[in-house]
Amino acid sequence: MSKLILVAVGGNALIRAGQKGTAQEQFENAVDTAVAIVHLIKAGHRVVLTHGNGPQVGAMLTRAEYAAAHAYRLPLDCCVAATQGEIGYILQYAMWQAMQQEGLQVPVVSLVTQVLVDSRDPAFVNPTKPIGPFYTKEVAERYRDLFNWAIVEDSSRGYRRVVSSPAPKEIVELEAIRACVDRGLVVIAGGGGGIPVFNDHDLSKGVEAVIDKDHTSAILAWQLGADVLAIATEVEKVCLDFKKPTQRQVDRLTLGECRTHMAAGQFPAGSMGPKIGAAMVFVERGGNEAIITNHEHLIDAIHGQGGTHIIREA
């Protein structure tokens, strides 16, 4: 049975642990994701792909810092847009090559994607998301005063800028994405959680914030009416008691079980928490199921033979 599947690819898909994150490494790593997506297409499914951009946007901000004396500074929203194009191209290229090997001719398109956020979101009062390079105290204080940045100290590495991470509300380019999906295209959208925007008719500036990629993926999957939200990460299955002697994998979680485990601290905010939260949002709003797994087991998980499946009821 053909399904519309939104696959949310984690940062490890292009830059693996221990790698420098060179363009060559990213091209090579993209092959695994491309092969998995092509297998889904061969099985008759339609696919929308989202992706993270944390390492790439950090590198872009670092480049901007070194080039500040010679070129204009790029605000964070422009960096998110630029990395959407960069990563979209890498994934498009990998899928084009993989499709040729399988004799497929399915068009792939990357869409620069804006995501509406609420200017009254409490996250704007409390910036917590670190981005960009580390600075000395003197430089950090100068930038704080010059650009009105929020700065936090990392006792071992220096000072770093932090920005807000508001909740996504709507996908601005939803109808463009839907039109491409309806025409049979593979769509890459919502990169890095999307470019945050306000609907305030102020054309003079963008919003310097970052949005959680998995939560944007959940909103997009729900708005598109996707059958499955598949969140690709580093592990085959979600674990309870992670890194403890009692660690154990789980094949299935109901919404009620997710809430219980979240309340017990099983899924920390800096680890599995956002992924479980995004899966719950999708299922709560009417999605059939969400799956959390790694790209090696993505195909099997879609067919019910791997990964952790989040469902409404047992």
Tens of pLDDT along 126-176? 998 888 888 899 999 998 998 888 999 987 889 999 999 999 999 999 999
Q: Where are the alpha helices (DSSP H) in 245-303?
A: 255-263, 273-284, 298-302
Pairing of strands 108-110, 158-163: unpaired
| Catalytic entry in 3, 42, 129, 169 | 129
Identify the pLDDT of residue 269. 85
pTM for the whole thing? Answer: 0.92
| Catalytic entry in 88, 190, 213, 306 | 213
| Residue-number span of the structural domain to which 156 is assigned | 127-163
Mean pLDDT over all residues of the chain?
A: 93
266 part of a folded domain: yes
Identify the pLDDT of residue 271. 84
Identify the pLDDT of residue 83. 95
267 part of a folded domain: yes
| Catalytic entry in 54, 88, 275, 287 | 275
Q: Which residues pair with 158 in a beta bridge?
A: 154
75 part of a folded domain: yes
Which of helix, strand or coil describes residue 119? coil
122 part of a folded domain: no
How far is the C-alpha of 84 from the C-alpha of 213, rounded, in Å? 12
pLDDT, tens digit, for every residue of 248-264? 999 999 999 999 999 99
**Could you tell me if 247 and 295 lie in one domain?**
yes
**Could you tell me if 9 and 29 lie in one domain?**
yes
**Could you tell me if 276 and 207 lie in one domain?**
yes
Q: Which two tokens stand for residue 297?
A: 């087991």
Domain-terminating residue out of 106, 140, 163 = 163
Domains: count for the chain: 2
How far is the C-alpha of 165 from the C-alpha of 230, rounded, in Å? 22
**Could you tell me if 304 and 179 lie in one domain?**
yes
**Could you tell me if 82 and 8 lie in one domain?**
yes
**Could you tell me if 143 and 255 lie in one domain?**
no
How far is the C-alpha of 107 from the C-alpha of 100, rounded, in Å? 11
195 part of a folded domain: yes
231 part of a folded domain: yes
237 is known as an active-site residue: no
CATH number at residue 218: 3.40.1160.10
219 part of a folded domain: yes
Identify the pLDDT of residue 204. 64
Which of helix, strand or coil describes residue 41? helix
How far is the C-alpha of 130 from the C-alpha of 100, rounded, in Å? 40
205 is known as an active-site residue: no
20 is known as an active-site residue: no
275 is known as an active-site residue: yes
First to last CA, the chain: 22
**Could you tell me if 158 and 174 lie in one domain?**
no
Please classify residue 246 by burial: count the beta carbons closer than 10 Å to its beta carbon, then call 0-12 exposed, 13-18 middle and 19+ buried.
exposed
**Could you tell me if 155 and 92 lie in one domain?**
no
Please check whether residue 178 is in contact with residue 240, taking contact to mean a CB–CB distance below 8 angstroms: no
| Catalytic entry in 12, 158, 169, 273 | 12
| Catalytic entry in 10, 11, 192, 306 | 11
**pLDDT tens string for the chain (314 positions)?**
789 999 999 876 888 878 888 999 999 999 999 999 999 999 999 999 999 998 899 889 888 888 988 999 889 999 999 999 999 999 999 999 999 999 999 999 999 999 999 999 999 999 988 888 888 999 999 989 988 889 999 878 899 999 999 999 999 999 999 999 999 999 999 999 999 999 876 666 789 999 999 999 999 999 999 999 999 998 999 999 998 999 999 999 999 999 999 999 999 887 899 999 999 999 999 999 999 999 889 999 999 999 999 999 86
Identify the pLDDT of residue 132. 83
42 is known as an active-site residue: no
**Could you tell me if 140 and 250 lie in one domain?**
no
Radius of gyration of the chain from its Cα atoms, rounded to whole angstroms:
20
249 part of a folded domain: yes
**Could you tell me if 190 and 277 lie in one domain?**
yes
